[in-house]
């Protein structure tokens, strides 16, 4: 039984957007290799034999054969490790109407050639500064992200909360507010164990109740300029709006061995299915496999900052 967590926001401070459309996304895990060793990542325990890249010709075929998926997310591991990363981007851009996002730790951005820009970069992080690279500190990569922003690439910052940084949320938000002026909206989410999503006792994971308290405190006390995108993680409900309009048929995750899952949380699942020979995907389930609800676990609520606008 899912226990929903209710967050109340002030209409004087925030404009709640639960109606924005979400593009259907083809998530291609083009490499399961990585230059980091993050605690809860599915690729952490792969053997050398299991570490591989998806073939360029398979990537192109998957995108061409599924025109209903307008966004192509290049995932990993670390997608920039792929030996053909520039050719992948160039070929996808030739396919009409596709938008590309690269989900990256940004440490290998020098591998991208200028002909691939602009491209949307989605960069997740846990800390502002840290001696351990796998904690994905933000400050060491800000200069290169700023360069990409100045050259026309969209950069999305995703702050992932876990048990190690949950007491630093205000510090992180305030730093970005004051020092990363080209970021207007910060995305915030919660780390969960992909193999055991509802288990609050996994290493590094905090409870959904604590996540709710952190978000509630943030929206109550924050008076800076940033707007937020809050990942609801299947349990957060803002102002009693159940946000059930985000289709669960929004994602296909395709892995290096050409198996796939319909759920974005199925990365390390043993329920992978083989991709068909023609590389096409048919419409899938109507409810989430983990919640039996008609909305996606990756749904995000957009909170537009009204307080800052009114008090300039």
Give this prediction's pTM: 0.94
d(CA 204, CA 159): 15
| pLDDT more than 70, % of the chain | 96
- Looking at residue 90, its pLDDT comes to 95
Q: Strand, coil or helix: what is 191? A: coil
Summarised one tens digit per residue, pLDDT across range 102-123 is 999 999 999 999 888 899 999 9
- Looking at residue 1, its pLDDT comes to 67
Taking residues 206-213, report their average pLDDT: 97
- Looking at residue 53, its pLDDT comes to 95
DSSP result, 202-224: STT---HHHHHHHHHHHHHH--S
Residue 264 has pLDDT above 90, yes or no: no
- Looking at residue 21, its pLDDT comes to 66
d(CA 243, CA 19): 8
Angle between helices 208-221 and 169-179 (to 10 degrees): 40
- Looking at residue 292, its pLDDT comes to 81
- Looking at residue 244, its pLDDT comes to 53
DSSP result, 264-299: TT-TT-S--EEPPTT-------SS-TTT-SSS-TT-
**Structural domains of the chain in order of their starting residue, each with its CATH number:** 5-310 (3.20.20.70)
d(CA 248, CA 106): 29
Mean pLDDT of the chain: 91
d(CA 109, CA 187): 21
Summarised one tens digit per residue, pLDDT across range 55-79 is 999 999 999 999 999 999 999 999 9
d(CA 205, CA 158): 17
d(CA 34, CA 76): 7
How far from 77 is each of 31, 87, 186, 232, CA to CA, in Å? 6, 18, 23, 24
Confidence of residue 171 (pLDDT cuts 50, 70, 90): very high
Summarised one tens digit per residue, pLDDT across range 34-56 is 999 888 777 777 777 778 999 99
- Looking at residue 91, its pLDDT comes to 95
């Amino acid at each position: 039984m899912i226990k929903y967590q209710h967050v109340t926001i002030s209409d004087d401070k925030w404009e709640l957007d639960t109606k924005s459309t979400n593009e259907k996304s083809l998530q291609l895990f083009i490499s399961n290799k990585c230059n980091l060793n993050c605690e809860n990542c599915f690729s952490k325990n792969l053997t050398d034999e299991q570490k591989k890249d998806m073939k360029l010709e398979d990537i192109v075929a998957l995108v061409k054969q599924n025109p209903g998926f307008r966004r192509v997310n290049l995932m990993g591991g670390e997608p920039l490790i792929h030996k053909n990363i520039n050719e992948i981007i160039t070929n996808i851009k030739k396919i009409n109407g596709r938008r590309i996002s690269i989900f990256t730790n940004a440490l290998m951005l020098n591998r991208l050639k200028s002909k691939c820009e602009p491209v949307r970069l989605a960069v997740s992080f846990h800390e502002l500064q840290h001696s351990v690279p796998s904690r994905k500190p933000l400050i060491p990569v800000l200069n290169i992200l700023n360069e990409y922003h100045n050259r026309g690439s969209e950069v999305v910052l995703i702050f992932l909360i876990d048990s190690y940084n949950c007491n630093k949320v205000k510090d992180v938000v305030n730093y970005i507010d004051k020092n990363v002026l080209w970021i207007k909206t910060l995305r915030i989410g919660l780390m969960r164990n992909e193999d055991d999503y509802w288990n609050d006792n996994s290493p590094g994971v905090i409870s959904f109740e604590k996540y709710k308290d952190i978000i509630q405190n943030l929206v109550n006390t924050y008076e800076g300029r940033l707007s937020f995108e809050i990942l609801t993680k299947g349990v957060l409900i803002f102002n009693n709006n159940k946000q059930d309009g985000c289709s669960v048929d929004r994602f296909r995750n395709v892995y290096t061995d050409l198996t796939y899952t319909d759920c974005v949380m199925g990365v390390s699942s043993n329920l992978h299915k083989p991709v068909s020979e023609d590389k096409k995907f048919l419409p899938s389930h109507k409810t989430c496999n983990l919640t039996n609800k008609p909305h996606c676990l990756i749904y995000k609520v957009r909170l537009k900052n009204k307080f800052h606008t009114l008090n300039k």
